Structure 1
Amino acid sequence: MENKQFQGLTNTLFLKNDLIGKKSNQIVDYFLDRENEQTFYEQLKDSKFDWLLVPVKWEFDESNLFTSYTKYYPNTFTLHDQEICTSKMKAVIRLIKKFHHLDLTLKPFNPQVILNKFKTKVVPIFDLSQYDQKIVRIIDDWDDGSGLVVSHNDLVRGNFLKISNRWVLIDFEFASLNHWLFDYASFMSESLDPDQWPKFLKLLNLSAIDLQKLFDFITYQNYLWSYWASYMYQSTKQEIFKEIAQDKLKKLAFKC
């Protein structure tokens, strides 16, 4: 069967034999931990969870580039072009809680290491220096003793897929152990407009301390992804990454 190409922002996507292939490249493999990703897949390969869409196979080629293959479902859609109402927010929260209850052995997320991957490579497109000290403080206070959970770490709208009558999580390149609030911050910063935050926060019903931690993680993620976008723009010259960097800068300026 001839490969059918799909649009991917950072990886090459293709359809072959009813499987979606996702092939990496050296640009993204610079900052992704493919061995940790493979460990995630290996521990879930025999699972029967209908709320996760995990690759059925994966491999490294002769150039050590990683390709994963996931079952293809036609006639599906993501949250990308959906209005996120209260019922969808509740569905997202249920998925995050299920994900956090997975019992897996993964590497812990290191906020300084992943940030340094980009800070040592690029000067950000837009000046972020006014946030530097705040980010240092957030990283210093990262561990509050609440423990680590299995975390997705990249809850953009496109990583929620509707199959038949259920929402499932996809795309686990960034999965690791992390603070339990990080995924909620990820969903808010990546998938919700700030005017939707009060409704989502009401559903979470956080304490004042946890709420401040959540906002700190939102700040960190906007700062991190702005550096990531600068790195991707420098590496690819694609304007979309400059637009992402600008969007993250605007969100950094938003007063939580």
Structure 2
Amino acid sequence: MDLNLPFSYTFIKKLDLGLTNNNYLIEMNDEVYIVRMPINDAIPSNRENEHAVLHAIKALDFIIEPIYYKNGIQISHYYPQLITFDDYLSPERIIESARLMKKLHESNRTVEHHFNPVAMIHTYLKHTHNHRLHISVYNDLFAQYASHQFTPVLCHNDWVAGNICFLDHKTYLIDFEYAGMNDPLFDVMSFITENDLSEGEKKLFLTQMVDDLSENNLQVLMMYRDLNNLLWYLWACMMLEHRKDKIYAEIKAIKYKQLTMEYKQPLSFL
């Protein structure tokens, strides 16, 4: 299979990985690499921002630095022993993920792009017509976010299990397509809403990440839970409409259930 890369390689196989890109294994100079290639369709993306983020964080010890990046095509060393969050069954996985998130937030790295979940929600609304929502229901949520003040730090903004990796007793973070300056509490609720966690695991992670569980902060965390659920529900609607893959239908159903059951409700695990 010809991947149209600007150098010689031997194609090995396509991998069943990723939700927004295609991934392949190739061999070059007796080394095996993984190639992440974007799918060229109408789905909005910000590859220039991802490149800027990768440049900003390249010296950090929890990054698997790509050897090549251009227009969303990313090539990195392939590590067959690497496992992701869902497959890492150690009871320490929550603590290690919290340490990883803190490392990113405390890295003092900055980029120009600011991740605005409400702006992203309205972008996705323009690219899908098959959602089941009356968006005006969420005007109070949007107003709450607009009035919320915070000190932005570099955030990943997409803490799904496949982006949290474990290798040789170290923890790594990958795929920075949505990274940007944001409120670190958004990342906290991204991890909690995007992973299949027990109530105890959710509470453990939150207490590792947030010292101040005042009523004001709990309201902010609820806001970010609801924004995460709404954002990724609409993302799944958009992806299903454009790419027709059943995985997006599954994500859509999960996020719709979370959104409708949890909206404006207290955090159940506290």
Cα offset, 1:25, TM superposition: 1.8
Change (3 A) 1:243 1:125: farther
Query: Where does residue 51 of structure 1 map in the other structure?
Result: 62
- Between 130-139 and 74-83, the greater mean CA deviation after superposition: 130-139
Distance apart, 1:131 and its partner CA: 4.0
CA contact (8 A) 1:40 1:175 kept: yes
Q: CA deviation at 1:83?
A: 4.2
* Offset, 1:141: 2.7
1:228 aligns with 2:232: no
Q: Which amino acid letter does the alignment assign opposite residue 63 of structure 2?
A: L
Query: Quick one: distance in 1 between partners of 2:24 and 2:189?
Result: 31
Residues in 2 aligned to 1:202 and 1:167: alpha-carbon distance in whole angstroms: 20
Q: Deviations over 1:117-174 (max 9, x none)?
A: 11112134333547422332233234x1x31100000001111111111111111111
**Unaligned 5+ residue runs, structure 1?**
61-65
Q: Which residue of the other structure, out of 166, 171, 189, is the alignment partner of 1:167?
A: 171
- Partner residue of 1:9 out of 19, 25, 42: 19
CA contact (8 A) 2:156 2:180 kept: yes
CA deviation profile, 1:194-237 (whole Å, cap 9, x unmatched)? 62322323333333222221221110010011110000000011
Deviation digits for residues 35-85 of structure 1, max 9, x if unmatched? 11111122344x1x331113221113xxxxx20111111222111234473
2:161 maps to: 157
Query: What is the alpha-carbon distance in structure 2 between the residues aligned to residue 126 and residue 164 of structure 1?
Result: 44
Matched, 1:210 2:202: no
Name the structure 2 match of 1:188.
192
Aligned partner letter, 1:37: E
In 1, Cα distance between equivalents of 2:57 and 2:221: 28
| Aligned-partner SS, 1:181 | helix
Q: Secondary structure at the match of 1:206?
A: coil
Question: Could you say what the CA RMSD is over the residues aligned between the two structures, in angstroms?
Answer: 2.0
Cα distance 1:107–1:170, how it changes in 2: closer, same or farther (>3 A)?
same
State which of 100, 103, 108 in structure 2 corresponds to 1:98.
103
Taking only the aligned residue pairs, the percentage that are identical comes to 27
Residue range with higher mean Cα deviation, 51-60 or 173-182: 51-60
Is structure 2 residue 102 aligned with structure 1 residue 88? no
Structure 1 counterpart SS, 2:11: coil
Q: 1:100 to 1:202 in 2, by over 3 A?
A: closer
For residue 39 of structure 1, what is the aligned residue in structure 2? 52
Write out aligned runs for 1:70-81 (5 A). 70-81=76-87
Aligned-partner Cα distance in 2 for 1:79–1:125: 29
Determine helix, strand or coil for the equivalent of 1:13: strand
State which drifts further: 8-17 or 148-157.
8-17
Supply the distance in 2 between the matched residues of 1:187 and 1:178 (Cα, whole angstroms). Answer: 14
**Shift of residue 192, structure 1, vs aligned partner:** 4.0
Matches within 5 A, 1:109-188: 109-127=115-133, 129=135, 131-142=137-148, 144=149, 146-188=150-192
CA distance in 1, matches of 2:204, 2:103: 21
Which AA in structure 2 matches 1:42? H
Equivalent-residue separation in structure 2 for 1:240 and 1:216 (angstroms) = 27
Of residues 102, 114, 121, the one that matches 1:108 is 114
Q: Choose from 242, 251, 256 the match for 2:249.
A: 242
Q: CA deviation at 1:21?
A: 0.7
Count, aligned residues:
245
Relative to the length of structure 2, the TM-score reads 0.83
Whether the 8 Å contact between 1:138 and 1:220 is mirrored in structure 2 is no
